[in-house]
Structure 1
Amino acid sequence: MSAEKITQLHRAAQQYLNQAASNKNALKQSHQACVEMLKLDPKHADAHFLLSMIALNMQQMTKAIELNKVAIQFAPQNAEYWAFYARSLSLVNRYEEARTAIEKGMKLGSNSPLVNDTMGVVLSRLGEHARAVELFNKAIGKQASNPSFCYNLASSLKFLGDFKQAQQAYEKVIALNPKYYQAHSALAELNLSTKTNNKISRLLTLLESVGKHVDGELHLCHALAKEYECVGEYEKALQALERGNSKKKAQLAYTSKDDDALFSVLKTTFSQEFIDKKHLGFKTTQPIFVLGMPRSGTTLVDRILSSHSDVVSAGELQNFAVELKKLTQTPGNKVLDPNTITAAKSIDFRALGERYLQSTKPVSDQAIHFIDKMPLNFLQIGFIKKALPNAKIIILNRHPMDVCLSNFRTLFAINFSYYNYAYNLLDCARYFHQFKMLMDFWQSSYPNELLEVKYEALVANPEEQIKRILAYCELPWQAECLAFHNNPAPVSTASSVQVRQPINSSSIGRWQRYGNALEEMQNYLQKHDLCE
C-alpha cells in the first residue's frame, strides 16, 4: 500500500510542478505531495529533487542547491540531478563547483533532451559553447519541436561566430513559435538584413498582436529598430526604441535618483583617510580589469588583450561584487547598494582578494593573466585597489553621445536593475554624467595607477594604443593583438558580432545619423561640459 501511495504522490508532485507556469497553487500542491512522500520514504531521491526544483522556481537558490545535493546523495548515478545541481550552482556564480558537477553529469550521460539541454546551458554559462552546441543538437535530435532548445543552440552558435547557422536556428525558433520574442531581437543583432531582405513587415505584424506583454514588445521594438537601421530609416528606428523602452521604464518605476545615491556613497566612503589607510590586500598580478560604461569598447579591448599568448578572457564576471557582498553580509538582493558599500569599509580586504581569485579558478587557474571585463566593475575600482593592489585596471572612455545612444539601443539583461537607466535617453545622459564624475574621482584618488583608453583613439591608431595597453599590463608586444578579429574564442556580450570584424570606425559618430531627435540628450551633456 505504501509503495502504491508513494507512486501516486510522485506522479502528482511531477504533474503539479509541470503546471507551475499556469497554476499559481501548483508549487504549493507539488510541495505538499513531496512532503507526504518523504514521510513514507525519507530517502526518496526524487522527492528531494522535486523539492529542489520547487525552490529553484521560487528563486530560493541556496535551498535548491542543498535539496539537490541530498537527492544526489541518495542517487549519485542520476545525470539529471547532476545537471540541475550544476545549473543552480552556475546561477549563483559558484562556477568551480558547477564545472565539477557538470563533468560528472556528462560522464554519466543521458538520453533525455531536457537533461542534455540543461547541461548545454551550464556549459554555455561556463563559456564552453562548442561543447554546449553538441548537447543542444543532441537535445534537438530527440525533440526538434522545442523552441527553447533551438534558441539555446542559436545563442551558442552566435557566441562562437557561426552567424549563418545561428540565423537558421533563430528562424527555426520563430517558425516553431512566432511569439518567442527574444529570438526576434537576437536575430536582428546579427545585422544580416538589407533593404531588399529584412524582417520589418513580420515585426510590425507581430507588434499589432503583442498586447500587454511589455517584455515581448521591448524585444520586438529593439528588433524593429535594428531592421530600420539596416535600411537607413533612423527616425523610425528611434521611434521603435522609444516605444519599447518607455513602456519598460514605466513598468520599472525607475528614476535617476536610484543611481545617484550609489555614486554618492562611493565617493563619501572613499575619503582620503580611507584611501590612505593601509590594508593588506592579496598581491597577485593575475587579474586585468577592463571596465567602463557599457558599450564603450570593453569587449574590443578584451579581445585585443586575450589574443596575447599570456592572457585569457574570463568574460563578464560578477564574482568581485558577489564576494564583496558575502563578506559584508548585508541584507537585500542587490550585490552593490549603499549599505553594502558602507559596510565594506571594515571587511578583510586580503580575504576579498583571495576569495575573488578562488572563485575565478575555472578560467584563471592555469592562466598567467586573465581578464575580468564586467563593465560595471567601474563602481568597484576603490575596493579592487584595496583587495588586489597589483591588479591592472583599464578604463574605457567613449564619446558620450555615442555611448549613451548605444546604451539606449542595446537590450541588456532585462530586469537586471543596474541597467534600468538604459530605457531613457536622458537617463543615459545622467548616468554617463555620474560615471564621468566617478572616473575623475578614481583617477585623482589613484594617480598614475589606472589606464584610461579612449575608444576613438584606439580605432584611429590601433597599433599605437595597443602597444600602450600592453606596456601598462607589462606584456611584450605580439602582432596577434592587432589581428584580434581572428581570435576564435567565443564572445558572449552585446558586441559578439562587431568584434569578429577588423577594427573600424563604423560606430563612431553614429548619433549624428539621428538628426535633431537626440537634442535633449545632447543639451544635457553640453550643459555639463561632457561634449561639444
Structure 2
Amino acid sequence: MSLIAAQNYLNQGNLQAAHRETMRIIQGNPHDLEALRVLLAIALKSRNSLKIAQILNQINRLDPSQASLFDEALAWHQIQLPQWAITALKQLNPERITRAKLSSSAANLATQYDQHSLGLALTKRTVVLTPNNANAHFELGRSLVFSGDFEAGQQSLIASLNIQPAHPLALQLLATLPKAYWPQDLLQQIDNAIAEASQLGDLKRLHEGRYRVLEDKGAYTQAFSAIETANNLHREQLGSRLTDPSEKLSSILTTFDQLTVTTHTSPSEATPIFIVGLPRSGTTLLEQILSGQDEIQALGELPQLPGIVERAIQHAKANEYVVNSSLVAKHYLEQTAPLRTNSHYFVDKMPLNYQLIGFIARALPSAKIIHIRRDPMDVCFAQYRQIFADSAHAMDYSYSLEHLASYHQSFSQLMNQWEQRFPNRIFDIAYEQLVTAPKTSLASLSQYLGIELAAECLDLRLNERAVSTASAGQIREPIGGQHLGRWRHYEAAMMPHLAKLLRD
C-alpha cells in the first residue's frame, strides 16, 4: 500500500512525502526493486546526480540485466547528462535483449546520440524478436538508410509494407530515397494509403511523400497542393502552439545583453567546429565534407550546448546575471568527451546554435564558427517541403510560408548583429558556391580552419559516416547544383507569401 501512496505523492509533485513512503518499504526490504525504481524517479525529479548514481548502482547489483542498463542510460538522458547516458548505452549487448520494446527504445536513444552502429544492431535485434511487426522492419529500414545502405534499407521498408501496405512512415521514407529505389507503383501505394488513413499524423506524412513523387514527375501544381496539404495538416496538429517565431529570435540579443557573459581565455584540449545556419541550408553537406578529413570528427547535431547555456542563463538570473563562461566551456567539453576519439577537431552541427553564437564566442575562444547561407527563397522552400519530426518544436515556424518569411528576416538580423559584435569569429560560406565551385570553397575552408582539406573530402561516396537528418536520402549524391532554384517550380503559389524576401 505504501508504494501506491508513494507513487501518488510523486504524481502530485510531493517529493518529500513520496520519499518518506518509499523509504519505509526499502528499510523493511532493501532488495525491493519496484521501490528502488520509485526512489530513482524521485531522485530524477530533484536532479540529484549523486543520489541517482547510488540508486542505479543498487538496482544494477540486484538486477544486472539489459533492461537495467537501458534504464540507467535513460535516467542520465532525462537529466541531460549525455556522457553518462552514452557510457551506459555502450554496455548494452543487443544479442542478450529478449524484449522488442526494449531493443527498439534503446535503438532510438542510441541514434539520438549518433551511436549509429549500436542503433543498427539494436534495430536488427528488434526484427529478430518480432519478425511480423511492420514497425520493426521500418525502424531497421530507417537505420540502414541513415547508414547509407539504400538497397538494404529499401528491402526492409518493402518488408514493412508487405505486412502493413499503408504504413505511412515507410512510404514517406521510400519517397525520400533516390528514385532508383522507388517501387514502380509508389504513387499508387501512397494514394491508397491516403484513402485509408484517418489520423492527421499519418496523412501529413503521406502527402509529403506524394509531393516528392509528383515533383519528380514534373506535376508541379499537384505537387505543391500535396505539400501544402501536408503543412496544413501539421499546423492543425500544432493548434495553439503555433505562434509567430520572430518574437523568440528578437529576444535572444535582449537576453544576452542583460547578462554579463565573462570571457574565457584558457586553451581547450579540443577545437569544436560549429556549423550554424537555417535547417536545410546545407549544414549536413558541409559537415559531411569536413568529416572526410582524418583530423576532423563529425558528431552530428549535438544537444549539449543549448542545454548547458539554458542552465547557465537560469543560474545567472539568480546570481547577479553573471554567466561564467569557463564553466560553460568545461561542461561542454566534458559532455562531448565520450563522443570524441583522438581527433583534435570535432564538428557540432546543430544548426540552431546560431542563436548561441555570443556564448560560443565568449566561452570557447579557439572554436571555429562556420555560418552557411543559402538563397532565401530556396532555403525557405527547402524547409516548407520537409515535414520534420513531431518532437522538433523548434521547426514549428516552417509549416507556414508567412512564418518562414518572418523567421528568415529575424534570423538574418540576428546573424548580422553577431557578426558586428564578434568580428572575425564567424566564417561565412554560401551554399551556392559550395555546390557549384566546391574546390574554391574547400580552399577557403582550409585557410579558415588551418587544415589542408584533401580533395577527396568532396567525393561523398567515399564517406561511410551515418547521417540521421532529413538529408540522409540525398547526402550520398555527387556535389552539384541540382537542388538550386527548386522553389521556382512553385513561384506563382509562393510569391504572395514570400515576395518580401526578394525585396530585402
TM-score under structure 2 length normalisation: 0.86
Quote the residue 1:232 is aligned against: 218
* Cα distance in 2, alignment partners of residues 300 and 348 from structure 1: 34
Of the three residues 120, 124, 147, the one matched with 1:133 is 120
Of the three residues 150, 162, 165, the one matched with 1:163 is 150
Quote the residue 1:327 is aligned against: 312
* Cα distance in 2, alignment partners of residues 201 and 40 from structure 1: 63
Instruction: State the percentage of identical aligned residues.
Output: 26
CA 1:128–1:255 in 2, change beyond 3 Å: closer, same or farther? closer
Of the three residues 25, 33, 37, the one matched with 1:45 is 33
2:245 counterpart SS class: helix
Quote the residue 2:344 is aligned against: 368
Alignment-mate amino acid for residue 155 of structure 1: R
Q: Contact (CA 8 Å) 1:254, 1:420: kept in 2 or not?
A: no
* Cα distance in 2, alignment partners of residues 51 and 510 from structure 1: 55
Residue 260 of structure 1 pairs with residue 236 of structure 2: no
Query: C-alpha displacement at 1:349, in angstroms?
Result: 0.9
**Structure 2: 5+ residue stretches without partners:** 5-17
User: Which stretch has the larger CA shift, 148-157 or 383-392?
Assistant: 148-157
2:91 counterpart SS class: helix
Q: Contact (CA 8 Å) 1:87, 1:118: kept in 2 or not?
A: no
Q: Deviations over 1:228-287 (max 9, x none)?
A: 12222221121111112113213324688642222222233455x979x75235532510
* Cα distance in 1, alignment partners of residues 470 and 78 from structure 2: 20
Residue 475 of structure 1 pairs with residue 451 of structure 2: yes
Q: What count of residue pairs does the alignment treat as equivalent?
A: 485
1:361 counterpart SS class: helix
Query: C-alpha displacement at 1:343, in angstroms?
Result: 8.8
Q: Contact (CA 8 Å) 1:69, 1:85: kept in 2 or not?
A: yes
2:76 counterpart SS class: helix
CA 1:162–1:417 in 2, change beyond 3 Å: closer, same or farther? same
Q: Contact (CA 8 Å) 1:225, 1:237: kept in 2 or not?
A: yes
Query: C-alpha displacement at 1:226, in angstroms?
Result: 1.2
* Cα distance in 2, alignment partners of residues 185 and 165 from structure 1: 17
TM-score under structure 1 length normalisation: 0.82
2:451 counterpart SS class: coil
1:360 counterpart SS class: helix
Q: Contact (CA 8 Å) 1:136, 1:153: kept in 2 or not?
A: yes
CA 1:269–1:102 in 2, change beyond 3 Å: closer, same or farther? closer
Quote the residue 1:387 is aligned against: 363
Query: C-alpha displacement at 1:133, in angstroms?
Result: 2.3
Quote the residue 1:13 is aligned against: none
Alignment-mate amino acid for residue 301 of structure 1: L
* Cα distance in 2, alignment partners of residues 344 and 144 from structure 1: 58
CA 1:175–1:41 in 2, change beyond 3 Å: closer, same or farther? farther
Query: C-alpha displacement at 1:182, in angstroms?
Result: 2.4
Query: C-alpha displacement at 1:301, in angstroms?
Result: 0.8
Query: C-alpha displacement at 1:308, in angstroms?
Result: 0.8
Q: Contact (CA 8 Å) 2:235, 2:242: kept in 1 or not?
A: no
Of the three residues 73, 79, 90, the one matched with 1:103 is 90
Q: Contact (CA 8 Å) 1:147, 1:176: kept in 2 or not?
A: yes
Query: C-alpha displacement at 1:437, in angstroms?
Result: 1.1
Which aligned pairs between 1:18-33 and structure 2 lie closer than 5 A? none
**Structure 1: 5+ residue stretches without partners:** 11-30, 331-339
Query: C-alpha displacement at 1:360, in angstroms?
Result: 0.6
Which aligned pairs between 1:203-242 and structure 2 lie closer than 5 A? 203-211=190-198, 213-242=199-228
* Cα distance in 1, alignment partners of residues 453 and 231 from structure 2: 43
CA 1:106–1:526 in 2, change beyond 3 Å: closer, same or farther? same
* Cα distance in 1, alignment partners of residues 256 and 59 from structure 2: 46
2:64 counterpart SS class: coil
* Cα distance in 2, alignment partners of residues 99 and 191 from structure 1: 32
Q: Deviations over 1:132-180 (max 9, x none)?
A: 3233223322320223322221121011101111112122223333454
Of the three residues 56, 66, 86, the one matched with 1:69 is 56
Alignment-mate amino acid for residue 497 of structure 1: G
Alignment-mate amino acid for residue 262 of structure 1: K
* Cα distance in 2, alignment partners of residues 243 and 512 from structure 1: 19
User: Which stretch has the larger CA shift, 237-246 or 135-144?
Assistant: 135-144
Q: Contact (CA 8 Å) 2:273, 2:367: kept in 1 or not?
A: yes
CA 1:90–1:167 in 2, change beyond 3 Å: closer, same or farther? farther
* Cα distance in 2, alignment partners of residues 449 and 329 from structure 1: 26
Of the three residues 464, 487, 496, the one matched with 1:511 is 487
Which aligned pairs between 1:101-500 and structure 2 lie closer than 5 A? 101-106=88-93, 109-178=96-165, 180-192=167-179, 197-211=184-198, 213-253=199-239, 258-271=244-257, 279-284=263-268, 286-329=271-314, 346-500=322-476
* Cα distance in 2, alignment partners of residues 282 and 180 from structure 1: 53
CA 1:511–1:114 in 2, change beyond 3 Å: closer, same or farther? same
* Cα distance in 1, alignment partners of residues 398 and 61 from structure 2: 47
CA 1:61–1:167 in 2, change beyond 3 Å: closer, same or farther? farther
Query: C-alpha displacement at 1:496, in angstroms?
Result: 1.4
User: Which stretch has the larger CA shift, 369-378 or 69-78?
Assistant: 69-78
* Cα distance in 2, alignment partners of residues 61 and 186 from structure 1: 40
Query: C-alpha displacement at 1:123, in angstroms?
Result: 3.2
CA 1:61–1:425 in 2, change beyond 3 Å: closer, same or farther? farther
Q: Deviations over 1:388-414 (max 9, x none)?
A: 122100001001111000000112221
Q: Contact (CA 8 Å) 2:110, 2:118: kept in 1 or not?
A: yes
CA 1:90–1:149 in 2, change beyond 3 Å: closer, same or farther? farther
* Cα distance in 1, alignment partners of residues 417 and 266 from structure 2: 24
Q: CA RMSD in A?
A: 3.5
Q: Deviations over 1:78-101 (max 9, x none)?
A: 121112322443465533212221
CA 1:514–1:260 in 2, change beyond 3 Å: closer, same or farther? closer
Alignment-mate amino acid for residue 314 of structure 1: L
Q: Contact (CA 8 Å) 1:311, 1:371: kept in 2 or not?
A: yes
* Cα distance in 1, alignment partners of residues 102 and 183 from structure 2: 41
1:288 counterpart SS class: strand
Query: C-alpha displacement at 1:104, in angstroms?
Result: 2.9
* Cα distance in 1, alignment partners of residues 273 and 453 from structure 2: 17
Alignment-mate amino acid for residue 236 of structure 2: A
1:451 counterpart SS class: strand
